[in-house]
Structure 1
Amino acid sequence: MAKFTVNTHRFDPYRNFKFRVRVDGQYVAGVSKVSALKRTTEVTPWREGGDPSTSRQLPGKTTYAAVTLEAGLTHDTTFEAWASLVHNYQGDAAGSLKNFRKNISIDVFNEAGQRVHSYNLFRCWVSEYQALPDLDASANAVAIQTLKLENEGWERDTSVTEPTEA
C-alpha cells in the first residue's frame, strides 16, 4: 500500500505523463518524453588477507546515466541554443565554455496539475542533439527533436511536499 501522509485516502501512485522541464528557470515548450534518472555505483570486492574464503563488497565510483529529452518541434529555441554552446557550425570559437553546463529541473504533477515531485540535475551539457527527425510525407506523426544530456548528478528537491488534493 502506498504511503501518502497528507492524502491518506489515496492508494494509486502518481502517473508518468504529467511533467515539465525547466532550463534557466523557464519551462521548455513541447517536452513529451524524459528518460529515466539512473545512477549506478560500482562494486569493489575486497578481501582480507587472513580470511581467504570470503570477500566483502564495498561501494566504488558512482556514475549518472545520460538523460534524453524529447520535444515536439516548436518555435522554442532553448534546445538548439543550448546545443550550440557546446558545438557551433561556425567553429569552436563560437561555442561557450562558460555557459554550456546548466542545471535543470524536472517537475512531476498529479492528475489535478499540482506539483508533487521535483528533481534537480546538475551541470548538464548537451552531448547529442537531433534538430529534426526523419521526415516522411506519408507519415502521420509529430516532428520530434532530441537532446541527450550528460550530467554530474541529480537529487530530489525535498522542498516540494505532498499537496492536499481536493
Structure 2
Amino acid sequence: MVQFTINTHRFDPYKAFKFRLKWEGRYVAGISKVSALKTSTEPIKFREGNDPKIQRLMPGHQSYEAVTLERGVTHDTEFEDWAKLVYSTDGDSSISLKNFRHDVTIEFMNEAGQIAKVYNLFDCWVSEYTALPELDANSTNVAIESMVLQNTGWARDLSVTEPTET
C-alpha cells in the first residue's frame, strides 16, 4: 500500500523532531517540544422508548486539548510577554483583554527541512506559564520554560501538500 502520493519511493513515516512554530506572523525561537494536537467528542447516551435494553451513542460536544510548548530558558521574553497579557503582577491595567488571544501555526517538516504539513491553532491563550523549572545543583539538564495554550480548535492547512523529495 502506498503511504505517500508524490514520494512513492518513501516507506518510512515522518519523524517528529523537525518543526517550527509561529504566532503574530513571526517564528518563535527555541521551541524544543510541542504536545500532541488532540480533539475529542463527547458521547451522548440515549435509548429508544420501545427497546429499553439497547443504549445508543451519538456525538455531542467537541473539545480540543490544551497544547504545551517547551523551550530552553534564554533572554527572549516572548513566552513571558504573552503570559502577562492574561495575568500580570504589574496590576490589572497591564492585562490586555483585546490582545491576549493569538492564532498559532505549527509547520511540520520532513528530514530535509521541507514543510510537509501545517496546522493552525485558533484563539490560543496562555493558561499556565512556567518561567523556571525546578533548580538542582546536581543536575546537568537544560533549564526549560513552558506555557500551556488553551484553544478553540485547530485545522490542517490543506493548501500545503506533500513536498517532492530528492
TM-score with structure 2 setting the length:
0.96
Contact 1:29 1:74 in 2 (8 A): no
Contact 1:102 1:122 in 2 (8 A): yes
TM-score with structure 1 setting the length:
0.96
Q: CA RMSD in A?
A: 1.1
Residue of structure 2 equivalent to 1:56: 56
Deviations 1:130-156 (A, max 9, x none): 011122233212111000011110111
Shift of 1:27: 1.1
Q: State the alpha-carbon separation in 1 of the partners of residues 7 and 42 from structure 2.
A: 38
Q: State the alpha-carbon separation in 2 of the partners of residues 18 and 76 from structure 1.
A: 21
Report SS of the residue matched to 1:86: coil
Contact 1:2 1:13 in 2 (8 A): no
Q: State the alpha-carbon separation in 2 of the partners of residues 2 and 26 from structure 1.
A: 36
Q: Structure 1: which amino acid aligns with 2:55?
A: S
Deviates more, 1:75-84 or 1:133-142: 133-142
Residue of structure 2 equivalent to 1:24: 24
Q: State the alpha-carbon separation in 2 of the partners of residues 20 and 134 from structure 1.
A: 26
Residue of structure 1 equivalent to 2:108: 108
Report SS of the residue matched to 1:81: helix
Contact 2:45 2:58 in 1 (8 A): yes
Structure 1 90/160 Cα, relative in aligned 2: closer, same or farther at 3 Å? same
Work out whether 1:72 is the aligned partner of 2:72: yes
Unaligned runs of 5+ residues in structure 2 are: none
5 Å-filtered alignment, 1:87-166, equals 87-166=87-166
Q: Structure 2: which amino acid aligns with 1:54?
A: I
Contact 2:2 2:8 in 1 (8 A): no
Q: State the alpha-carbon separation in 2 of the partners of residues 147 and 2 from structure 1.
A: 38
Contact 2:40 2:62 in 1 (8 A): yes
Unaligned runs of 5+ residues in structure 1 are: none
Shift of 1:2: 5.2
**Number of equivalenced pairs:** 166
Q: State the alpha-carbon separation in 2 of the partners of residues 2 and 21 from structure 1.
A: 29
Q: Structure 2: which amino acid aligns with 1:84?
A: K
Identity %: 60
